[in-house]
Structure 1
Amino acid sequence: MASRFEEIHRGLLRLRQHSKEETGAGYSVWWEEVNSHSIGKNLFPASIWIQRKVDYLALLSPELQEHYRRFTLASAQLLREFPQLEEWVSNQVRRVGDYGPQWPDLIKVCQWFVHHHRRDYYYIRELPIAVPTKFIEQHKPILSELLLQLLPAEQVDATFGGNREHNFEKRFGLKYDETLVRLRFLDPALADGIDDMAIRHTTLANHPFGGTKVIITENKMNFLTLPPLPQTIALWGGGFQVHLLRTARWLRNRQLYYWGDLDTHGLSILSQLRQQFGHAESLMMDRTTFDQFYTDDQAPPIPQVNIDNLHDDERALFYYLKKGNLRLEQEKIPQWYVQQQLESVIDQ
């Protein structure tokens, strides 16, 4: 210590100058006298501690002091309105502070959903809440977290997790620009003057149509050129959009057929459809049809998909097509063959 005494002495002076004893806030130092043969008696720090919260805050940077101020104000506002969020707030200190200026509007939105919400009545931008027009859209992730804490389980559709497009609206019962499902009445007796229409998929789910048979096609032109068939309606699935039909439970009471491309994608869609409608049958998606009309087309490789719902012959065809990346697009099947198959399978 004797060889470095001047350096040590300057350090001790700085420690004392910046301590609470000198500045009025911050850390406190407990000094003890140490007797050394080389440098004599001197005071050295035995311990350093922070007595109060105000002393701790005095040691923070201006940015962190401001964050603490925002957190304190926001958490007080939030817990005054929703005391049940105490645990969430304690686990989200950083985020509560980060959203500081937005909390008054976030609380308004939560209050409306908790006390006044009417399911499937409003689009997100017409909610009667005094916040900027785009505020809810811009703050969906944090609002979703809060509402999941605040709303009873029966008011939340938990099947729509994550932050994919429109999942917030679906989860909390708001209207949104829904995907339309195209529909044709192949039997004039079912049409009631309308033979071709497009409706929201939720409307389709809650509006059973007449007839006993339903054909779902993947390709639009095939959908449009389906011939008249008794007691039959057609739906344009549009590829992987068949998942939109899962809530149309009335399809379980219809003879259901799917006609898609003869490739791995088409067969995987068929498997996906059968997750909800196990009785669905395939049309012209067999090895005989493929061998008769295949013309050397190639399909892109398909990632791992679930084909558990395919029948044995369909699964064998899937692996055959996958091995060579083979494809027969459904629009390449001639109309005479389509007519023949439909008449033999459906027109009964």
Structure 2
Amino acid sequence: MITVGEARAVARKKLEARLGEWAGLVTAGEPSPAVSIALRPPSERQMLADEAAAETWAREWAALQPADGVEVDWEVRAWRSIGRQRVPVRVRLADADATASFAGGAAQADWSRLRERAERIATRFGASEAVSSVVRRRARDLLALEEGRFAQVVDVAAWIIDHPVTGYRPRQVPVRGVDSKWLGRHRQRVADLVTAVTGSADLGLVEADPLVRLRILDDALAVGGPTDIAAPAAQLADLPLRPQGVFIMENRETVLAMPRWPGAVAIHGSGYAVSVVAALPWVRSARVLYWGDLDSNGFAILGHLRAGLPDAVSVLMDSRTLYAHRDLWVAESVPARGELPELTYTETAALAALRDEGDVRLEQERVPWAYALAELRAAWGAGSSPGWSGRQQGGAGESARGGRGAAVGVEAVARLDDGPDRLGAGQGGLQGEAGAEPVQPEPREEPRREAGERFVGGLIAGDEE
């Protein structure tokens, strides 16, 4: 048996679920559909089991106050042991207004406000399907705006429809009370209404070019100019830079923490905007080391980078780094899915590992700085020989066209275990402050091997027949 309170809750859920759809119908001037809620009257056996409860339930429905569009259907049931009984079987709600009225409370107030705003939009912009679609999609957003903001959005959209602002910057829009900050908050709301009426793709406002942040880590490359630069990519492309190598990093703070480094430039990749960096001519002519968050999106961003720079080498993006910092893992809220053919075998294995562990992530800024610098230095040193390319790269980094050896990476960990003196304390190599010089690579003794043995991925294995 569905009580009056339970039926009101059902009506409230239906109203919330179809709020946008019904608001769009209001804008279009079309009627909303009726709603019927079954009351599940008791059977004869249930009546006999608890006649008092059944009678209370029926009396509650009989006492329901009449309301426009709200009707309760009653039927007579003939039962052998009880006789003929009149019971409520369903409540019928004629339209959205009746559903809101029956639901009552905050749901009714919300519908009344949204209905009134949908009507105002129709009056101001017409009852076209495009306008109705905006109301359907933005119903909850329109409802959430305070009255003054809603009125301002409508007024600004109407003004721009009559006075196109194509070619203006946001600061130049001559509407009283509207500035670039206001447009930043409400631009999409205004644009949706303008597009619904005019069919234009957007407002036509001129946008500021996004800035790319970089640091020149070698004063010799700056030629007396600035070493910390934030500028549009088009301007950066014209810089007379000829770096030996470029570090591209997902996190800006990592770029700012990089020490002085002969022949190097560090660039903030800005996540999926990394393709902008990949198009810079002087980046394309240098060797590139990429370090991003060790998560699925970090590998997806690496795939985007490799579309323009197939020889880019990844650093600190392998299973060894992942499992060495298990205590620093966090959950990745929105993992990237799909295949990433641009990744190497080692990178693909790391991606599979973090997914198998439950879509975990090791954020770039969580990796201990001394550990990170040792790995960056090892990857840089591994590619410093003449004629270096990603196809030849091994050691601490890996490109899409080259394999990844374990020897240099293991050496870096060994040096970390030896304490701060082994990390170059007093030499400035791994201090993490601007102005410090990196430590020069130490000689590395190759593992001994017996006759008939060969190296596979940094390990010793017997020769195959």
Normalising by structure 2, we get a TM-score of 0.43
| CA 214–26 in structure 1, closer or farther in 2 if over 3 Å, else same | same
- Residues 260-317 of structure 1, C-alpha deviations (whole Å, 9 max, x = no match): 699x99xx99998664356889xxx9xxxxxxxxxxxxxx769999655972321455
Q: Matched residue pairs, number? A: 283
- Residues 33-64 of structure 1, C-alpha deviations (whole Å, 9 max, x = no match): 45556555553335542345543332122211
Q: In the alignment, which residue of structure 2 is the partner of 1:174?
A: 207
Q: In the alignment, which residue of structure 1 is the partner of 2:332?
A: none
Q: Give 1:68 shift.
A: 0.6
Among 184, 205, 216, the residue aligned to 2:234: 205
In 1: Cα distance, 2:80 partner to 2:343 partner: 85
Amino acid at match of 1:116: V
Q: Give 1:18 shift.
A: 0.7
- Residues 248-268 of structure 1, C-alpha deviations (whole Å, 9 max, x = no match): 798438982247699x99xx9
| CA 117–39 in structure 1, closer or farther in 2 if over 3 Å, else same | same
Amino acid at match of 1:276: G
Q: Is 1:118 matched with 2:167?
A: yes
8 Å contact from structure 2 (residues 58, 87) kept in 1: yes
8 Å contact from structure 1 (residues 301, 322) kept in 2: no
Q: Secondary structure at the match of 2:285?
A: strand
| CA 252–72 in structure 1, closer or farther in 2 if over 3 Å, else same | same
In 1: Cα distance, 2:80 partner to 2:287 partner: 97
Among 106, 110, 115, the residue aligned to 1:72: 115
Q: Secondary structure at the match of 1:174?
A: coil
8 Å contact from structure 1 (residues 67, 98) kept in 2: no
Unaligned runs of 5+ in 2: 1-46, 248-254, 316-323, 330-335, 348-388, 398-403, 416-422, 424-428, 431-436, 442-465
8 Å contact from structure 2 (residues 78, 84) kept in 1: yes
Q: Give 1:71 shift.
A: 1.4
Q: Is 1:18 matched with 2:41?
A: no
Identity of aligned residues (%): 12
Q: Give 1:67 shift.
A: 0.8
Q: In the alignment, which residue of structure 1 is the partner of 2:285?
A: 256
Q: Is 1:314 matched with 2:363?
A: no
Q: In the alignment, which residue of structure 1 is the partner of 2:152?
A: 105
| CA 152–216 in structure 1, closer or farther in 2 if over 3 Å, else same | farther
Farther off after superposition, 108-117 or 57-66: 108-117
In 2: Cα distance, 1:211 partner to 1:245 partner: 21
- Map 1:145-224; keep pairs closer than 5 Å: 146=192, 174-175=207-208, 178-182=211-215, 195-196=225-226, 199-202=229-232, 204-206=233-235, 209=238, 213-215=242-244, 217-218=246-247, 222=260
In 1: Cα distance, 2:303 partner to 2:81 partner: 88
Q: Secondary structure at the match of 2:133?
A: helix
Q: In the alignment, which residue of structure 2 is the partner of 1:276?
A: 308
- Residues 145-201 of structure 1, C-alpha deviations (whole Å, 9 max, x = no match): 948976979759xxxxxxxxxxxxxx975338845445699599xx7xx64465543
| CA 40–118 in structure 1, closer or farther in 2 if over 3 Å, else same | same
Amino acid at match of 2:125: E
Among 51, 55, 69, the residue aligned to 2:98: 55
Amino acid at match of 2:136: S
8 Å contact from structure 2 (residues 290, 312) kept in 1: no
Farther off after superposition, 57-66 or 24-33: 24-33
In 2: Cα distance, 1:66 partner to 1:254 partner: 58
Q: In the alignment, which residue of structure 2 is the partner of 1:295?
A: none
| CA 196–3 in structure 1, closer or farther in 2 if over 3 Å, else same | closer
Farther off after superposition, 10-19 or 320-329: 320-329
Q: Give 1:13 shift.
A: 2.9
Unaligned runs of 5+ in 1: 157-170, 227-233, 286-299, 336-348
Q: Secondary structure at the match of 1:237?
A: strand
Q: Secondary structure at the match of 1:43?
A: strand
| CA 29–43 in structure 1, closer or farther in 2 if over 3 Å, else same | same
Q: Secondary structure at the match of 1:205?
A: helix
Q: In the alignment, which residue of structure 2 is the partner of 1:81?
A: 125
| CA 259–112 in structure 1, closer or farther in 2 if over 3 Å, else same | farther
Q: Secondary structure at the match of 2:62?
A: helix
In 2: Cα distance, 1:153 partner to 1:301 partner: 51
In 2: Cα distance, 1:334 partner to 1:16 partner: 90
